[in-house]
Structure 1
Amino acid sequence: MSLRWLAFPAALLAGMGVMGAALAAFALLLTYPNLPSIEALTDYRPKIPLRVYTADGHLIGEFGEERRSVVKIENVPSVLKRAILAAEDERFYQHTGVDYIGVLRAAYSNVAQGGQLQGASTITMQVARNFFLSREKTLTRKLYEVLLAFKIESSLRKDQILEIYINQIYLGQRAYGFAAASQSYFGKPLEKLTTAESAMLAGLPKAPSSYNPVANPTRAKQRQLYVLRRMQELGYINAAQFAEAQKAPIVVKREANEYAVHAEYVAEMVRQLLYERYPDDVYSRGFRVYTTILRADQEVAYAALRKGVLDYDRRHGYRGPEAFVELKDSDEETLEDALQDYADSDDLLAAIVLDANAKGVKAWRRGETIAISGEGLKFAARALEEKTAPNRRIRRGAVIRIAKDAKRGWQIIQMPEAESALVSINSYDGSVRALVGGFDFNRGKYNHVTQAWRQPGSSFKPFIYSAALEKGFTPATIVNDAPVVVDPFLTGGQVWEPKNYDGKFDGPIPLRTGLARSKNMVSIRVLQAIGTQYAQDYVTRFGFDADKHPPYLTMALGAGAVTPWQMARGFSVFATGGYRVEPYIIQRIVDDRGNMLAQAQPVPAGDESLRV
């Protein structure tokens, strides 16, 4: 009798099991054919940003929705692969896409916690989720994730799946994939990662924001130690390696400028040119653009422009603090918030004054209180006087700029109001070797090299003299350096009585002397002799726009409008003995696989088609 009572429940449970299995099989038959195609994986083409390089291979710009560098699995260091497996999926090379024990654990958690699914995702399942599914934690989504994992495993080899994961996963700091993350966090390629750095990167997929070593160094360290312990437990590293990695300092990259050289205006020029050519693919196809810029030349140009502008600004005196903020408290959080709106400009650092008097200034900057005294106060000395107007006085709450001087001491400085530009070209073929479009690209994207129309002044005189030589003048032709009074009809305005710069007149002098001494009267008489209309037409041979240089005598003194780009092109004619080369900045364009898409083919000086 007792056996009969036991047999009935057993049969009932067995029947329910069979029915459950049948329902699961039926659901599988209905669901599997409706799974999305995995062509996105079998023909993996990730979004790769546009990257811009100098001619000698240094990265100067990157543009795209996702910061990513694609690497082949064979180029991924074994220590990084092991760190990833230890953190995410230790049985990756043994299972068929699903860790069954983990799935059972997640299913139990789902029932026990009312729908909050936990854990169980293998690397293959994460790939399925990242490409095809949302991140909602439901049993239905998990079922699709499992089925897709089976489908992926049946179509791709394990190394292919791991390669996709390594290149696709988001790791914070706009970095997608471990190669991009290595550059973003540590400023180095994968092959140079240490065990400690590999473990820190491997800990990021679980929660990129929470374990970000830049934003949350403490939590990032805790996660790194967990990964290192798992690596030791799995035999990937020994006790000595674990101890060494545990103590190894992690140096996270924090520089505002993430590129090897300041060439932001060049990178932006390239971006605009590429967008015009490939509007739909420019930010995702992985174009690599190699410019004509040379790193050494660009570095010198950038430093020279900044120094020149700062020296000019310094000669005009200190204008006062950049702004004022109200400081009720001096705690770091308040100070940090107050400083958020004032970005650094390379070595010109923003700081908030905590205390100030004629003998010294104490200023706060990024967790550090800086004392400035002596020579460091000299430039801004008047702004420390009590009689100075409040809006110009350095006092508590003032936002100022500080920088290190030649002796590595702190000094008060200021952001210049003036702007400048510099462009240097190879006159033989027109390749641009250096270009700086302004003092600080982050302060203003306006490119003064190509966009700023300014009066060239006396620097335009050589083109007038060149026109005169074409008309039969010689370097020895005598021209009178004497006062000139010009009728309004000839100037396009009112009566004009120009003077030489020094106010002196030398009388009859050779043409060569007039140019060497930049004599205004000589230039005007030369232009009178050859005719303003002729001169206007002639300067177009150098690449200048006729409509920017009205045919009046004022053209002799450079009253028209030019850009620095035009001036570089114009003066290259003199350097080449009469050939006008066209400046260009893109050397070649290649795709993400290295295939050549375009290459510059400059016509060099000496080709008669360029003769002016």
Structure 2
Amino acid sequence: MNEEFCDRFLLFYEVTNPEPRKRSFLKTCLRFLTIASILCTTIAVTGAYLLYQTIASDLPDISQLREVKLQVPLAVYSEDEQLIAQFGKKKRIPIPGNRIPKKLAEAFIAAEDHRFFSHPGIDYKGLIRAGVQLIRTGKKRQGGSTITMQVARNFFLSPEKTYLRKIKEIILALEIESQLSKQEILSLYLNKIYLGHRAYGIGAAAQIYYGKTVDQLTIEESAMMAGLPKAPSRFNPVTNPERALKRRNYILTRMHNLQYLDQKELDQALEQPVIARIHSDSIELHAPYIAELVRQKMVKKFGPHSLTSGYKVYTTVKSELQIAARSALRRALHEYDERHGFRGIEAQSGLAATASEGDILERLKGFRKVGDTLPALVRAVNKDSIDVRVLGKERTHLAWDKMTWARKYINQNEREALARSPDQVLSIGDIIRVRKGRTGNWRLAQIPEVSGALISLNPADGAMVALVGGYDFYRSKYNRATQARRQPGSGFKPILFTKALEEGFTLSTMINDAPIVYMNPWTDEEWRPQNYSGKYYGPTRLRIALRKSRNLVSIRLLRQIGIEKVAQTAISFGLPTDQVPRTLSMALGSGSATPLQMARAYSVFANGGFLIEPYLVSRVETLDGELVEEAFPRIACPHCGDLSSGNNMFAPRVVSPRVNYLMTSLLQDVIRRGTAVRANRLGRKDLAGKTGTTNEQRDAWFNGFSPALTAITWLGFDLPKPLGKGETGSRAALPMWIYYMEKALEGFPEEKSRVPKGIETLYINQSSGFLTSASDPEAVPELFREGFVPGQRNSETVDANRLSDETENDQLESLF
């Protein structure tokens, strides 16, 4: 319409006007078009500005990137800085910008944004190319995003693919480029990107795919990692090695074209095969029960975000002692398990002796390593051995003497007759479990049904130096060292004897070991406690009574002292009030305690009489090394005298030096000549402890110490039931303690106890407990406190032994 009007106007103008008028009209049209163009441009610019302002007002502050906190797992370390565990869904190892290898950075630039150092945050050519593709095909094309735009998206935007998000990316990228250097942007990108298998950032990816740090990566490994951001699954070198190889070689060629590699480097890199595989976390010390304790503590104190804030937690655990503890527990549980027979194979595969290796591995895939045991398939049964294929190992061979223990299990006290040859135990195709013995040879095994725990403390300050809460954490996360409240049995008796000494009894005091019958006046039920042997030994010195763990002496002793007095002493040793019963059965350990609580109690004897507070975490640091928490434990100081009284630096004294010295002597006697005599194989004179066994052998304990270490071992079923005939603390739990202390005390010189003032050694008659001369054929030396030396007639003994059962029943009736 405009053209028709101009033509008519021009014709009229030419007829009625000369040539100058024609030039005036052209000028008017040109002016009209110019004004229209300016107006349209102004409207477009104004609209774009208003759109920018609208979008920009909703965008985050770019300055946040300078203080960005990447999600970094919580790391747990031993005292000697061995990595125990990492917590957090995202695996990330932040790498400072100045430590990013040049070739690794160049590989990512070649793969993702080769104009990175020249564009202002937006690659106009790439955006135009993507726009043309959209016009031609009607489909959004991946690409056109610079590294800066990816930083904007990864830190500030959602992953949805919309035009609005792309506009936001562009605006944010321009802002980022105006505030951060290229090196800062590249560092943010390389530490943030997802690279598959839960790896976020180049540090985690290098560890997961190659088991290396970034500075150890080769050129081809760097190129392989650089191919992952585009499609972490499709170009993954573990799950899709062929596609990953093509992508890697493409990136290597790009690096060469961009002059990042010379021809020789390219040729060498292209020749390398794909060697990536999944490397487990670089765990240096296996201590999952400890790791879980730390995780719970951190969440409780700092909240759930503590798992992703990069905290570094340093524990008091000593790696060598932790390894010894785990080995000791597993060995003891297997030994108990083998004493009670073979419960049978895991499964029958149905495979013949001629089965292929592939079929065998396929059958074994459904079974995993548990504790020290590995699944294995029987390939051949020979006259004096079997051939097996162990999961993850080569074909190997089990000698007959490594399976002779496998008498068929009937119950805790019975097994079938001893088998005479391997074919009476196993058949071809059986899936079994095997483990390495102490000599390094494979032996038949099974997963122990019985449970156990071991906890070890530094008695001077309460530091937990080793803790194992069960056979296999991944099979049962229940931490028996800290959670299992079980009857301590005779392990409680040293607390009772401590109170007896404080009340004026001596180590030579005679107490009658004779039958006792107590009646419950409300139920008319009888309680007839017995010694473990079922025998009675008459008047018995306190030293012998504890050495031999005489139950009836302990009950009479408790009666004479008073139940509440002994209960308060138990509480002063750190046992919770609600776990200390107020009945005569307390003398036999009928209350409850966890192994950790028993370790705290026995540390009193080990450290000279002080109640320490167990602790696990020595310090907590941020990712940047800032100290946020540090432990300052109260220490036991037996030689500080009055300086320790009322001083918050020192643990409170709960047992006097002289009583503690006498109790240590008693507990050393348990090892030298008593129920723990097996521990003499350690060849040390500074060891002390007490066995513990509960009714029907439901719990087996050994509570022991040296001046340097306290260690408690426990063995039993999670759902309490008898361990079997003869499975006492001495037989079931003491070996675990011996295995641990044998390794743990290496490097600790033997320590001789200091004799406190006020202790003297006198001769007594071992039959009567009275003072005597050295010439007496029955004379034995005994320790006494000054002021508590018996005279020629032991009045305590006479009073104790004159009590009839009727008198005891009358006096004790009110206790039930």
Q: TM-score, normalised by structure 1?
A: 0.86
Say if 1:447 and 1:41 are closer, same or farther in 2 by CA, change over 3 A: same
Deviations 1:77-130 (A, max 9, x none): 223222222222222111111223322222222233322313222211211222
Picking from 579, 587, 591, the partner of 1:560 is: 591
Mapping for residues 57-68 of structure 1, pairs under 5 Å: 57-68=81-92
Report the counterpart of residue 263 of structure 1 in structure 2. 287
Say if 1:41 and 1:151 are closer, same or farther in 2 by CA, change over 3 A: same
Mapping for residues 142-221 of structure 1, pairs under 5 Å: 142-221=166-245
CA distance, structure 2, for counterparts of residue 442 and residue 258 of structure 1: 18
Report the counterpart of residue 574 of structure 1 in structure 2. 605
Matched, 1:112 2:136: yes
Report the counterpart of residue 712 of structure 2 in structure 1. none
Report the counterpart of residue 611 of structure 1 in structure 2. 653
Report the counterpart of residue 664 of structure 2 in structure 1. none
Deviations 1:451-490 (A, max 9, x none): 101111222221111111111112222233x332230339
Q: Do the aligned partners of 1:323 and 1:400 also contact (CA within 8 Å) in 2?
A: yes
CA distance, structure 1, for counterparts of residue 351 and residue 153 of structure 2: 48
Report the counterpart of residue 37 of structure 1 in structure 2. 60
Report the counterpart of residue 595 of structure 1 in structure 2. 626
Deviations 1:503-556 (A, max 9, x none): 444433332222222222332232222122221121111011233232223222
CA distance, structure 2, for counterparts of residue 265 and residue 21 of structure 1: 70
Report the counterpart of residue 547 of structure 2 in structure 1. 516
Report the counterpart of residue 442 of structure 1 in structure 2. 474
Picking from 437, 444, 451, the partner of 1:419 is: 451
Give 1:594 deviation, angstroms: 2.1
CA distance, structure 1, for counterparts of residue 522 and residue 343 of structure 2: 38
Report the counterpart of residue 317 of structure 1 in structure 2. 341
Mapping for residues 400-549 of structure 1, pairs under 5 Å: 400-405=432-437, 410-480=442-512, 482-489=513-520, 494-549=525-580
Report the counterpart of residue 4 of structure 1 in structure 2. none
Q: Secondary structure at the match of 1:581?
A: coil
Q: Do the aligned partners of 1:376 and 1:410 also contact (CA within 8 Å) in 2?
A: no
Identity across aligned pairs (percent)?
41
Deviations 1:321-358 (A, max 9, x none): 33567999x89998778766543225422356688798
CA distance, structure 2, for counterparts of residue 418 and residue 117 of structure 1: 61
Give 1:302 deviation, angstroms: 1.6
Report the counterpart of residue 724 of structure 2 in structure 1. none
Give 1:235 deviation, angstroms: 2.9
Q: Do the aligned partners of 2:76 and 2:313 also contact (CA within 8 Å) in 1?
A: yes
Matched, 1:279 2:303: yes
Q: Secondary structure at the match of 1:565?
A: helix
Say if 1:352 and 1:111 are closer, same or farther in 2 by CA, change over 3 A: farther
Farther off after superposition, 418-427 or 349-358: 349-358
CA distance, structure 2, for counterparts of residue 306 and residue 21 of structure 1: 81
CA distance, structure 2, for counterparts of residue 579 and residue 291 of structure 1: 23
State the one-letter code of the partner of 2:399: G
Report the counterpart of residue 403 of structure 2 in structure 1. 378
CA distance, structure 1, for counterparts of residue 301 and residue 107 of structure 2: 42
Q: Which stretches in structure 2 are left out of the alignment for 5+ residues?
A: 1-29, 409-415, 638-643, 647-651, 655-816
Q: Do the aligned partners of 2:454 and 2:481 also contact (CA within 8 Å) in 1?
A: yes
State the one-letter code of the partner of 1:518: S
CA distance, structure 2, for counterparts of residue 87 and residue 189 of structure 1: 21
Q: Secondary structure at the match of 2:130?
A: helix
CA distance, structure 1, for counterparts of residue 434 and residue 286 of structure 2: 20
State the one-letter code of the partner of 1:445: K
Deviations 1:200-238 (A, max 9, x none): 322221222233334334443443333333333333333
Q: Secondary structure at the match of 2:520?
A: helix
CA distance, structure 2, for counterparts of residue 425 and residue 74 of structure 1: 43
Q: Secondary structure at the match of 2:95?
A: coil
CA distance, structure 1, for counterparts of residue 381 and residue 279 of structure 2: 29
Q: Do the aligned partners of 1:115 and 1:139 also contact (CA within 8 Å) in 2?
A: no
Say if 1:519 and 1:380 are closer, same or farther in 2 by CA, change over 3 A: closer
Q: Do the aligned partners of 1:335 and 1:364 also contact (CA within 8 Å) in 2?
A: no
Report the counterpart of residue 374 of structure 2 in structure 1. 349
Give 1:288 deviation, angstroms: 1.9
Farther off after superposition, 334-343 or 594-603: 334-343
What is the aligned length? 592
Give 1:60 deviation, angstroms: 1.4
CA distance, structure 1, for counterparts of residue 334 and residue 203 of structure 2: 39
RMSD: 3.7
Deviations 1:373-399 (A, max 9, x none): 53487258668x9xx9xxx98668765
Give 1:24 deviation, angstroms: 6.8
Say if 1:116 and 1:48 are closer, same or farther in 2 by CA, change over 3 A: same
CA distance, structure 1, for counterparts of residue 273 and residue 401 of structure 2: 34
State the one-letter code of the partner of 1:374: A
Q: Secondary structure at the match of 2:119?
A: coil
Q: Do the aligned partners of 1:573 and 1:580 also contact (CA within 8 Å) in 2?
A: yes
Give 1:158 deviation, angstroms: 0.7
Q: Do the aligned partners of 1:117 and 1:138 also contact (CA within 8 Å) in 2?
A: no
Farther off after superposition, 539-548 or 49-58: 49-58
Q: Do the aligned partners of 1:491 and 1:553 also contact (CA within 8 Å) in 2?
A: no
Q: Do the aligned partners of 2:208 and 2:280 also contact (CA within 8 Å) in 1?
A: no
State the one-letter code of the partner of 2:239: A
CA distance, structure 1, for counterparts of residue 589 and residue 461 of structure 2: 27
Q: Which stretches in structure 1 are left out of the alignment for 5+ residues?
A: 1-10
Report the counterpart of residue 319 of structure 2 in structure 1. 295
CA distance, structure 1, for counterparts of residue 630 and residue 467 of structure 2: 20
Which of the pair has more CA radius of gyration? 2
CA distance, structure 2, for counterparts of residue 523 and residue 120 of structure 1: 85
State the one-letter code of the partner of 1:272: Q
Give 1:163 deviation, angstroms: 1.2
Q: Do the aligned partners of 1:115 and 1:138 also contact (CA within 8 Å) in 2?
A: no
Q: Secondary structure at the match of 2:75?
A: strand
Q: Do the aligned partners of 2:325 and 2:468 also contact (CA within 8 Å) in 1?
A: yes
CA distance, structure 1, for counterparts of residue 37 and residue 228 of structure 2: 41
State the one-letter code of the partner of 2:248: Q
State the one-letter code of the partner of 2:572: R
CA distance, structure 2, for counterparts of residue 339 and residue 111 of structure 1: 55
Give 1:423 deviation, angstroms: 1.2
Say if 1:258 and 1:497 are closer, same or farther in 2 by CA, change over 3 A: farther
Say if 1:159 and 1:315 are closer, same or farther in 2 by CA, change over 3 A: same
Where relative contact order (Cα < 8 A, 6+ residues apart) is larger, the structure is 1
State the one-letter code of the partner of 1:585: L
Give 1:599 deviation, angstroms: 1.3
State the one-letter code of the partner of 1:575: A
CA distance, structure 2, for counterparts of residue 249 and residue 260 of structure 1: 29
Q: TM-score, normalised by structure 2?
A: 0.65
